[in-house]
Amino acid sequence: MSERQLRPDFSYEENPGYLDLITGVYKSAGWYYRKENWGDDYSFPTSFIADFKHYYFFKFEESYPIYFWAILFTVLRYLFEFVICKPLNKYLKFNTKADANKFPESFWKWVAYSVLWSYSAYLLIYCGRHNYFTEPEKIWDDWSLGMVVPDDIKLLYFIECGFYMHSLYATIFMDAWRKDFFVMILHHFLTMALIIASYATRYHKIGILVIFVHDVTDILLEFTKCNVYLKNRNGKVYSFHDMIANIGFVTFTLAWFLFRLYWFPLKIIYSSGVIAIHRAYYRGAGLYAFFNSLLVILLILDIYWFYFILLFLYKVATGQLKEVSDTREDEEEEELKAKSKKEKKKEK
């Protein structure tokens, strides 16, 4: 695809709302896909593959650190569960086997997400070199084909990709089975695709923003779940952990909306879908549909999981639940109980 010479004939908002996002993406997509930008010789998928190869800078041997981190995370989790969680479980004396099995998983994820998010927060907020969260309009100003990725961002990318590669393995072989199992598998594949493709095409500034707004809610979720499991142990019910779980869930809900359903679409998708058209694409940067489609799919998954949060709030409001729990797990347990009752009736 030839480089674009003309700037768009419409403007973008510095503080957009949801309506600005919808209208902005509509106008930007219309401008990007106008006939004079593509010519009569463009054909899908041949031309798309050629464009992708043109912008893709990531040799296979550069991916070796990702495999290293994936293996390291897997080994660390096994050691974490065996060395730390196994004796800790004996000390805590959980009331149920289910809580004893789920606590190490959430404890591990809480530690891992806390470390990963702290590093992304350091890069975006504290180090002073990458102020993309506060100034997303400047993300695209120095974009160039095959530009050098700073070492501190490269390290974050390889660690994050390695962690999600490990998470793919863990979801299948280590984690407790949940109703959204296949959605989680899709999420991990999608996340790895975004990380690798954004690094290879030098969209890394958008990439670390996506990591930043998503990992923080995972910290709060796993912290809340740890307290859910900790409140029923040693033959007692600990009201302190119940209170912390309730506070954690409220904080998690607010953070989910703020980070994933407000800042993610209005800062990141708006920057990638609208601002990029004005500050990068007119100079020839491509793959508009590819990246924005992945980001929109990720947003849809965020909305899908928010459904479970609203479902929980509904059950609490209607008296169906009286304490914080994982609705994905509860529904699965209810289905298993119902299935078991049906089988018993058949036997009779």
pLDDT in tens, 39-63: 667 777 787 788 788 888 888 888 8
Give residue 266's pLDDT: 94
In the structure, what pLDDT confidence band is assigned to residue 208 with cuts at 50, 70 and 90? very high
Average pLDDT, the chain: 84
d(CA 288, CA 270): 12
pTM summary value: 0.83
**2 confidence band (pLDDT: 50, 70, 90):** very low
How many structural domains does the chain have?
1
Q: Could you tell me if 287 and 37 are in contact, meaning their C-beta atoms sit under 8 angstroms apart?
A: no
- 136, 209 Cβ separation under 8 angstroms: yes
Structure tokens at 95: 């009331």
In one-letter notation, the amino acid at residue 280 is A
Model confidence over 106-123: pLDDT tens digits? Answer: 999 999 999 999 999 999
For residue 10, tell me if it sits in a domain. Answer: no
Any idea how long the chain is? 348
Closest to 327 in 3D by CA, of 175, 247, 221: 221
pLDDT of the residue at 39: 64
Q: Cα–Cα distance between 79 and 97 in angstroms, integer?
A: 20
The domain in which residue 229 lies consists of 18-347
- Please report whether residue 43 resides in a domain: yes
The answer to whether 106 touches 153, Cβ cutoff 8 Å, is no
Q: Is residue 153 part of a domain?
A: yes
Q: Using an 8 Å Cβ cutoff, are 109 and 225 in contact?
A: no
- Give the whole-angstrom CA distance, residue 220 versus residue 228: 12
pLDDT of the residue at 115: 95
User: Which is more confident, 325 or 140?
Assistant: 140
Query: Would you say residue 139 lies in a domain?
Result: yes
Residues in contact with 255: Cβ distance below 8 Å, sequence separation at least 6, in sequence order: 216, 217, 220
When pLDDT is cut at 50, 70 and 90, the band that residue 153 belongs to is very high
Distance, C-alpha 103 to centroid of its chain: 22
d(CA 127, CA 305): 32
Segment of 64-78, 131-145, 201-215, 281-295 carrying the highest mean pLDDT: 64-78
Asked if 39 and 2 count as a contact pair (C-beta separation under 8 A), the reply is: yes
Residue 5 forms part of a structural domain: no
In a domain, 268, yes or no: yes
In a domain, 280, yes or no: yes
Examine residue 338 and state whether it is found in any structural domain, yes or no: yes
When pLDDT is averaged across residues 26-40 and rounded to a whole number, the result is: 78
Q: Can you give the pLDDT at residue 331?
A: 47
**Nearest residue to 145 (alpha-carbon basis) of 319, 334, 287, 306:** 287
Beta-carbon-side half-sphere exposure of residue 9 (alpha carbons within 13 Å): 3
